Structure 1
Amino acid sequence: MRPTFLRRLARRIGTFAVSGLLAAAAGTVALAQPAAAAGGLTPVTGFGSNPGNLSMYTYVPAGLPAGAPVVVALHGCAQSADAYYANSGWPKIADAYGFAVVFPQTSSANNALSCFGWFDPADSTRGKGEAASITQMVTKAGSLYGSDPDRVYVTGLSAGGGMAANLLAAYPDVFAGGSIASGLPAQCATSQVGASSCQYGSLNLTPAQWGAKVRAQYPGYTGPWPRVAIWQGTSDYTVYPVNATELRDQWTDVWGISQTPSSTATLPGNTTMTSYDDASGKPAVQLYQISGMGHGLAVNPGSGAEQCGSTAAYFLNTICSSSYTAKFWGLDQDGDGGTDPGEGGEKLPAPGGLAAGTVTDTSVALSWSPVQGAASYRVHRGGTQVAAPTGTSFTDTGLSPATAYTYTVAAVAADGTVGTASAAVSATTTGYTPTCATATNYAHVVAGRAHTAGGYAYANGSEQNMGLYNVFVTHTLKQTSPGHYVIADSGC
């Protein structure tokens, strides 16, 4: 269990800051301070000593009850709290699931591009500068809204994502989860000069070395660790996609779990979601890779339940990342993982007998025992809802061959109350068709087919040495099973 809110208050000197496109560009142009947020946001003053010279704004749905979660949303460079409020989609998701959103805002007084200091230890470590200011905002939100101290989350774009990663590392006792969009690993850079190396390349660290950077931020802490979502466009040339791989390596190592995916799913917007489950079968880290997307936050304007946000500079029309992130954190459920916020009624019991029947290379057939009083059921694959059948069976299709998937089912009453989730069941699809790719060592690493260590590239799975990690050495890699690659230069 995390400490109670009052115990946290006594220790919360801490780290929370954000930025946005990236601080590496901070010296290139001086922009005016963003205008004060307006139109749905409420300014909050008196939230603490504010050593980081930040402004606090909040969005709170009407009638929000005590005990609701809090999400801290960190804008990008040259952006404002109001821009993030207007375009990110978080207000719509807050209305749907019932939680408060804190929008911190920095200014050109702190940084020429109004970036949070993600690369500066004076702002990005426990108890320092902007970090301390933002954790003071979390404390203030708790006192204003009676928020649940065990359900505090942080999300950010680009340098804001880098800062979010730093906050998760420095304050795992405060944040139950995080989401890093087009961002960087925790403590990747400790200077503005170092920021460019992180942005445009790889530090060639092992997962254990990346994980050590997290553990060093709060020595002696043993868990629980935050659950981390990672969002990255494959055509991002501002924060290179290798950062997403390094984030995956960092947080799976912190959790003590494998870098081999537990499951893979195809989502809207050319998005591939890869899950890495903890020992209980619950996703601890999820990597969302959006094919062809550049640098920005993924949004999907529209009125549908799975749509959110508005397009603008660095808000790109692909998929509603805020919705998927909220579900990954469990914000579509109550604090016990049961009913959706705002839904009444008694929770139905968990369905029994959940089993995987016929399995093919692209499908899994599921069945379970009926629950008295159930009007329908919710089927979750890897923590994401994939169906809502009225009967007691469902066949999940469009899956990847030779891939393990984990499922749970919950009954839904006629009034919409979602019952307790069943025990998880796993199934592995059959078959596999090998594929080959010829590219430079750098491109293989960026695409997730290889990784780096000590300046060399190694094929994922087989660990074959591919030579120096650069754009001059080229190999053909053959994927013989999910996540397992071998060098196949002689033919594929």
Structure 2
Amino acid sequence: MGQPYPPHPPFRPVRGRVFGGIRRWLTAAAGALALTGGLVAVSPQATAAGLTQVTGFGSNPGNLTMHTYVPDGLAAGAPLVVALHGCTQSASDYYAHSGWPKFADAYGFALVFPQTTSANNANSCFNWFDSGDSTRGQGEALSIRQMVDAAVARYGSDTRRVYITGLSAGAGMTANMLAAYPDVFAGGSIDSGLPAYCATSVSAAYTCMYSPPNKTPAQWGDLVRSAAPVGTSSWPRVAIWQGTSDTTVAPANATELRDQWTNVWGIGQTPSRTESLSGDTTLSQYDDASGRPAVSVYSISGMAHGLAVAPGSGPDQCGTTGTYYLDTICSSYHTARFWGLDGGDGGSGQNPGTLPAPAGLTVGGTTDSTVSLSWNPVDGASSYTVYRGGTKVGTTTSTAYTDTGLATGTAYAYTVAAVDAAGAVGTVSSSVTATTTGYTPTCYTANNYQHTTAGRAYQSGGYTYATGSGQAMGLYNTFTTHTLKQTAPGYYVLADSGCSA
């Protein structure tokens, strides 16, 4: 995909948008889907063999082009997959190398390949680090959503089975769009990418790329929850692909991505199972309360920056090699199976119950060792199972539960699921975080850069601010030193005049 993240980019505004080398690489990682309303007439136009350009798909505020691949005789109600290319790549390039058309034919689903150009970004990257392009209802994100709406209307796709995947900058955009549109996407795949909303500026993008902030799972999860519609209770299932020898997007990003999405799901960061796959790949799966994989991490030993492909005619082989298409393992095959596009259950071997997720999960109160929860009833539920950090901690027939024996001053993530009369566990609720009382303050003295990389502060527009309190700390660099006092989990205040823990 050309160099997706140029190390020394020019940086200049163009028509009110920030373009340049970094934006180029960053945007290329933005292969995330978005869905919108406002369809207009759609007219196809042939471009490459098997690939069709669709025009007039919406207001297109992000100035993208839409390309589709639809197997012959595809029935209405089939799934839809959106695939985002990387920097300097194109829709036809991703179509030709990624292997996705093979599985669209084999499993029966439609493909949408959004494309950006040098008119948007000099390196033809999706602008994943620009909030004007990656926020719900804006810019490129809205254009991609309009493509989804157009495909659903044109091909009769199942709106409950819409998925998104992307490489590099396309992966950065994919993560953002999974956060912004959890009501649209049932699953996503982030290939050599970054956590959702890791960066909202060019300078922050470099930090994320080479040395991602070491935020807590709850801090990463909050970025997703704040981007999603209020009241979201269902989240997409997320695959994370990363090479261990990637020097463009540091492998640490895969760990932060895992922390982010397991926290969103309300499950812990310890794998439910691990297994070895071909291509020196290790798969770690993190199950939801019903035993289905919610997050899967594929770590490919020795692979550099790119998309994992495995040329060949075997059922688990796909794609062709090229720049940033690396011969290791067919990521498209394993991702399709993880999403259940092959007609399977995503590798869990279990059939979840049909009851919906309980709504209104609320923390009613805390002490230094207890947390009280309540939620709305679910029709057809005979009982409810309560989970702390993804682990079952109790069952109740009421819509309230008190968890006991907890540590002082500690944050805990909770979810709840309804259980039917046959004992089948339904969809797990969205997560809430409760912190027990009695927290002991802690003091930290470091420079602004160190505070930021440790998650005690964040940077915006070249300046640093304390996490939680938002107090200004000056320029984001290694020459400004401050003392921060942590007064609660995830909350820091300036304490330069003196700090007693």
Same fold by TM (over 0.5)?
A: yes
Q: Structure 1 140/20 Cα, relative in aligned 2: closer, same or farther at 3 Å? A: farther
Structure 2 counterpart SS, 1:195: helix
The question of whether the paired residues in 1 share the 8 Å contact of 2:240 and 2:298 is answered with: yes
Cα distance in 2 for residues equivalent to 1:231 and 1:202:
16
Which residue in the other structure is 2:320 paired with?
310
1:84 partnered with 2:67: no
* Amino acid across the alignment from 1:313: T
1:163 partnered with 2:173: yes
Structure 1 counterpart SS, 2:114: strand
* Amino acid across the alignment from 2:285: S
1:64 partnered with 2:47: no
Cα distance in 1 for residues equivalent to 2:47 and 2:323:
17
Which residue in the other structure is 1:205 paired with?
215
- Structure 1 residue 20: deviation in Å? 8.5
The question of whether the paired residues in 2 share the 8 Å contact of 1:20 and 1:160 is answered with: no
1:251 partnered with 2:261: yes
The question of whether the paired residues in 1 share the 8 Å contact of 2:182 and 2:232 is answered with: no
- Structure 1 residue 22: deviation in Å? 3.5
Cα distance in 1 for residues equivalent to 2:112 and 2:87:
17
String of CA shifts for 1:297-348, please: whole Å, max 9, x gaps: 00000000000000000000000000000000000017xx59xxxxxxxxxx
The question of whether the paired residues in 2 share the 8 Å contact of 1:188 and 1:195 is answered with: yes
Cα distance in 2 for residues equivalent to 1:206 and 1:84:
34
Equivalent residue runs for 1:385-464 within 5 Å: 454=456
Which residue in the other structure is 1:21 paired with?
4
- Structure 1 residue 222: deviation in Å? 2.8
* Amino acid across the alignment from 1:236: D
Structure 1: 5+ residue stretches without partners: 1-17, 339-348, 351-422, 425-450, 456-492
Which residue in the other structure is 2:145 paired with?
135
Q: Structure 1 142/182 Cα, relative in aligned 2: closer, same or farther at 3 Å? A: same
Which residue in the other structure is 1:364 paired with?
none
The question of whether the paired residues in 1 share the 8 Å contact of 2:180 and 2:229 is answered with: no
Q: Structure 1 29/249 Cα, relative in aligned 2: closer, same or farther at 3 Å? A: closer
Equivalent residue runs for 1:329-368 within 5 Å: 329-333=339-343
2:48 to 38, 52, 76: 38
1:194 partnered with 2:204: yes
Cα distance in 2 for residues equivalent to 1:172 and 1:150:
11
Which residue in the other structure is 1:271 paired with?
281
- Structure 1 residue 293: deviation in Å? 0.1
The question of whether the paired residues in 1 share the 8 Å contact of 2:218 and 2:263 is answered with: yes
1:154 partnered with 2:164: yes
Structure 1 counterpart SS, 2:82: strand
Cα distance in 1 for residues equivalent to 2:168 and 2:47:
20
Q: Structure 1 188/130 Cα, relative in aligned 2: closer, same or farther at 3 Å? A: same
The percent of aligned pairs where both chains have the same amino acid is 66
Cα distance in 2 for residues equivalent to 1:126 and 1:453:
25
- Bigger shift: residues 20-29 or 103-112: 20-29
* Amino acid across the alignment from 1:76: G
The question of whether the paired residues in 2 share the 8 Å contact of 1:19 and 1:158 is answered with: no
Structure 2 counterpart SS, 1:236: coil
Which residue in the other structure is 1:488 paired with?
none
String of CA shifts for 1:210-243, please: whole Å, max 9, x gaps: 0000000024233210000000000000000000
The question of whether the paired residues in 1 share the 8 Å contact of 2:171 and 2:191 is answered with: yes
Count residues in correspondence.
327
Which residue in the other structure is 1:477 paired with?
none
Structure 2 counterpart SS, 1:216: helix
Structure 1 counterpart SS, 2:227: coil
Q: Structure 1 59/24 Cα, relative in aligned 2: closer, same or farther at 3 Å? A: farther
Cα distance in 2 for residues equivalent to 1:58 and 1:80:
13
- Structure 1 residue 39: deviation in Å? 1.7
String of CA shifts for 1:442-470, please: whole Å, max 9, x gaps: xxxxxxxxx96659xxxxxxxxxxxxxxx
- Structure 1 residue 25: deviation in Å? 6.3
The question of whether the paired residues in 1 share the 8 Å contact of 2:167 and 2:192 is answered with: yes
1:230 to 236, 240, 260: 240
TM-score, structure 2 normalization: 0.62
Structure 2: 5+ residue stretches without partners: 11-19, 29-45, 352-423, 426-452, 458-501
Cα distance in 1 for residues equivalent to 2:258 and 2:7:
22
1:144 partnered with 2:179: no
String of CA shifts for 1:104-127, please: whole Å, max 9, x gaps: 000000001000000000000100
* Amino acid across the alignment from 1:207: P
1:242 partnered with 2:252: yes
* Amino acid across the alignment from 2:55: T
